[in-house]
Amino acid sequence: MTTDIQNKLNDLASQYDKRVSVFDIEITALNGDTISLSGRVLNQSQLDDLHRFLPDLNLDTASINILERPGLPRLRVNTNLTGLYEKPTFYMPLSSELYYGTELEILEEKDRWAFTRQPDGYLGWAYKPYLTSESLPQETHIVIDPVIEARLDSSFNSGVVTRIVSGTGVTVKETRGKWSHVTAHRSGWVPNDALRAVNDLPRSTEARRNTLVEDSERMIGVPYLWGGTSGNGIDCSGFARLLHRWIGIDIPRDADMQSAAAKRVEPPFEIGDLFFFGEGDEDRHVTHVGISLGGWKMIHSSRMRNGVYIDDAQSEDYLRKIYMHAGSFLR
């Protein structure tokens, strides 16, 4: 009996996307007609789903931890870049990466790790020593180079203080000619042309498209990294998200999420349209995304090419065969 019930619990768990939801329930005891359960869920509605899913059973859910609750603590990333993981250990593949300043809700803590939720709902474990409860300066600019060196003074001959990666929000405190003094996890001088003022983000669709093309070229040759989001290494959806961030648009983290949220579009394709690809046979789902530079010409972070490069989605056999559809956040 318990095996059948646990299988049903597993079936229910499979209905939730673990990137934005939590449903980890197991049977701990069977006392007469009462089944004791333990584990964790994200919110009360999932606990309600559990009772609806097993209406004929007497369930003891007192030991199930509901993670979402009023007044959750909030921390911010206080290092230049840190990983997000499925489990509280560095010995896991990256799920994603977090820029300096990213705000996180803390749903759970374990040793030196925090189970976090980003503003878009994306979940994962972050290393707590890299987070802070202190308020951080309001970002005024975004880094638009793959990686920049912050220096002790406004000169390339000056020593390096740290490196700040693409997509990071920083605060400009002072300008001196072609240099700006910025505050991030550390303070230093960076070239002005590595930054874009938040107030200067393009507003019109035409301006966004023109800027996207120029921005995309900055990242050519950056190596592919599963879970990567910056010039240190980036995956396909991280690249699409970064290019949109640089023009003032927030889009979901992963390729299938971007596909679901984007407006579906058909040829002729315009700059900024997203091409979605999926491997497999009949039951294909989105696993890759590229960004149109106009028509079928696209730029993407490709595992096959090990980095950000330009391809033609119709001329390359490996892309044409797995193409699924296109979408856009610019139309």
pTM to 2 decimals?
Answer: 0.95
pLDDT tops 80 at residue 283: no
Strand 131-132 and strand 23-31: the pairing is unpaired
pLDDT score of 3 = 82
Q: What percent of the chain has pLDDT over 70?
A: 99
The fraction of the chain above a pLDDT of 90, given in percent, is: 92
> For residue 123, what are the CA distances in angstroms to 18, 90, 277?
8, 16, 24
* Alpha-carbon distance values, 66 to 25, 57, 158, 249 (Å): 11, 21, 52, 32
Q: Count other Cβ atoms within 10 Å, centred on residue 99.
A: 26
pLDDT digits (tens, 9 = 90+) for 1-43: 678 888 889 999 999 999 999 999 999 988 888 999 999 999 9
Q: Quick one: pLDDT at residue 159? A: 98
Q: How confident is the model at residue 279, as a pLDDT?
A: 82
pLDDT, tens digit, for every residue of 129-139? 999 999 999 99
Q: Is the pLDDT of residue 281 over 80?
A: no
In this predicted model, what pLDDT tens digit does every residue of 57-79 receive, in sequence order? 899 999 999 999 999 999 999 99
Q: What is the mean pLDDT of residues 211-240?
A: 98
Chain segment 81-131, per-residue pLDDT in tens: 999 999 999 999 999 999 999 999 999 999 999 999 999 999 999 999 999
| Domains, the chain, ordered by start | 2-66 (3.30.300), 74-132 (2.30.30.40), 141-199 (2.30.30.40), 201-328 (3.90.1720.10)
Residue pLDDT, tens place only, 182-210 = 999 999 999 999 999 999 999 999 999 99
Query: pLDDT-derived band of residue 256, with 50, 70 and 90 as boundaries?
Result: very high
**Is the Cβ–Cβ distance between 255 and 287 less than 8 Å?**
yes
Neighbours of 128 (CB within 10 A): 17
| Mean pLDDT for all residues in the chain | 96
